Amino acid sequence: MPTSFATDTDRLAETAGFVRQQDAATLLPLLLPGLDALELRALVDRCRFSHAALLVFPPDQEALRTLLAGCALSPDVAAQPSVVVRDRLAARHGRDAAELNVRILRPAVTGPDGTGRTVEVFTLTVPPGSGLAGIAERERDREHEAHLAFEIEQPDPLVLRGMCAIFGRHGATADGGGYNPHEDGTVFYFTAPTDTKAGYRRVELYAPGDHRDVLAAHLDEYRARQSAETLLRLMTGAWTTQALAVFAELRVPDAMHTEEGTGAEALARAVGADPESMATLLRYLAMLGLVTTGRDGFRLTGLGALLRTDAPDSMRPLALMYGGPFYRSFGALGHTVRTGEVAFDHLFGENHFDHFARDPELAELFDRSMAAGSRMFGPLVEHPVVTAAGEAPGPRTVVDIAGGNGALLGRVLAAHPRLDGVLLERPHVLEAARRALEAAGVGGRCAYREGDFADVPPDGDVYILSRILHDWDDERCREILRHCARAMPAQADLLIVERVLPTDDSASLATAWDLHMRCNVGGRERRADHYARLLADAGLTLVGRTPLPLDGSVLHARPAGAPHPAGR
């Protein structure tokens, strides 16, 4: 079996050599340890080893031809799109399937007895700088698409059921399948037993003809197993939260490299941890794609690097916050669901703003976590209202209300050098904001105002409320918006950054955050029409909505009676 971090040439050459050397009689006992002589004879008499498959990552078509020729495989085999593998990759890595150019080709090889076989080569084109390198790295490491295949000769329902039963008795489990009308063939997929010695974790049985009656029972078994596994993964989601938090808390990412591996013992020494427990944590994180493992130890992936302390827009504070105070209060979610009260307040005896304010370290962590979250909403700087203000003649001012340590305002000022800024915040937060904005080179264009929502400064051109309203109930939101409306000149604009609940209850991050806000903060997420009503109650009009990444939105509002932006 190809090893982690080997080159694609090595992997493909090893797979082709494997196909050339093996046959069903020697391979099946390795695949299914414990087969007795009668079972082995029954399988060997009815099927033949047909191919092994793997996924490679050429940068272009010419590189693929070179790769095939270098492994003594024909470079002129016709290729066709592989929709199944493309969709599996998209689902595994959270990518749009349209950006994954996956194809399949089957160059022929000859087995030890002179029989014809193939190497099933799936290819994902990864051009230089395409952003798909992380997928290639993780797929090479885990070999999800590598499998063995056996073709059943002269199948009938009794034979198929008998072969599936033998596989099941020896620990192989149903892993999907399907009927292909273009080839008139039926595929039964299995996950190999845990004690397999064949080196492959996935097995295919291919039966010429339409055998969907037998396939139905196989798929029922697969779906039942998948449902249980899915539910179990959901139940253990808390383990992931804590693994990420501990990984960040111990600063393990800071001690790791993305180019070379480090052993678990060395990492444990570097951060003051138990070596055996550290290895267990890293293996778990490898399942999640934050690290990879190879002969030289553990390496940090691009995903894991987001938890480095020195990473641009580090998400380490978010991991510590979600794995710390909010993790504890989410344990009391049942109290919120039963009573409608905020679990955080019930657990700590006060709301999270007051609780954090009394603990300087927690207050700093919260402000840094909010700043880390601002990276998700960076495209706000390109909003037409902000762009128009930045290009207008004469001075223009952007007012960031409760803007934390100024991360978002700093992005706006850096992108639009002609704009000035005003940051309204609590005194202890302003000190950190002043340092951050000075370090970003925009401090000279920013004024700092101490106060709360009642102190919204007048005479701004663009006002920003970024992830503020979802902290509060409707009455408090109306109050905040009224303060904004009183301060805003007639021609000013208000930009509200929030996750907006979908009107059709479709899947959305806003739905997840709605639960979080109710349990931990006392606020909620809302639909766009709900925000429109709150704005109208405060004398403001919702005039537009622009999408942001991660299900965010910019809601654009203006004072009631002001001309629509299109008429300005």
Position 568 scores a pLDDT of: 42
Cα–Cα distances (Å) from 222 to 86, 152, 242, 420, in that order, read 21, 21, 30, 60
* Domain extents in the chain: 8-233, 236-311, 379-567
Distance CA 271, CA 567 (A): 60
Topology at the third CATH level for domain 379-567: Rossmann fold (3.40.50)
Is 470 noted as a catalytic residue in this protein? Answer: yes
Three-state DSSP at 381 gives: helix
Distance CA 266, CA 248 (A): 17
DSSP code per residue over 49-60: EEEEEEEE--SS
Topology at the third CATH level for domain 236-311: Arc Repressor Mutant, subunit A (1.10.10)
Distance CA 37, CA 528 (A): 68
Position 374 scores a pLDDT of: 61
| Residue pLDDT tens, the chain, 568 long | 333 334 799 999 999 999 999 999 999 999 999 899 999 999 999 999 999 999 999 999 999 999 999 999 999 898 888 877 888 788 787 777 788 889 999 999 998 888 899 999 999 998 886 778 878 888 888 888 999 999 998 899 989 999 999 999 999 999 888 888 877 889 899 999 988 998 899 999 999 999 999 999 898 887 777 777 778 888 888 999 999 999 999 999 999 988 888 999 999 999 999 999 999 999 999 888 888 887 888 989 888 898 999 887 788 999 999 999 999 999 999 999 999 999 999 999 998 888 888 888 887 788 777 766 666 667 888 899 999 999 999 899 999 999 988 889 999 999 999 999 999 998 888 988 899 899 989 999 999 999 999 999 999 999 999 999 999 999 999 999 999 999 999 999 999 999 999 988 877 889 999 999 999 999 999 999 999 999 999 999 999 999 888 788 999 999 998 776 543 4
CATH number of 8-233: 3.10.180.10
Q: Is the dihedral of CA 568, 552, 350, 406 positive or negative?
A: negative
Q: Is the dihedral of CA 541, 544, 546, 552 positive or negative?
A: positive
Q: Which amino acid is at 409?
A: L
Position 3 scores a pLDDT of: 35
Position 2 scores a pLDDT of: 34
Position 4 scores a pLDDT of: 33
Q: Which of 51, 147, 383, 470 is catalytic?
A: 470
Q: Considering only CA atoms, which of 385, 372, 376 is closest in space to residue 464? A: 385
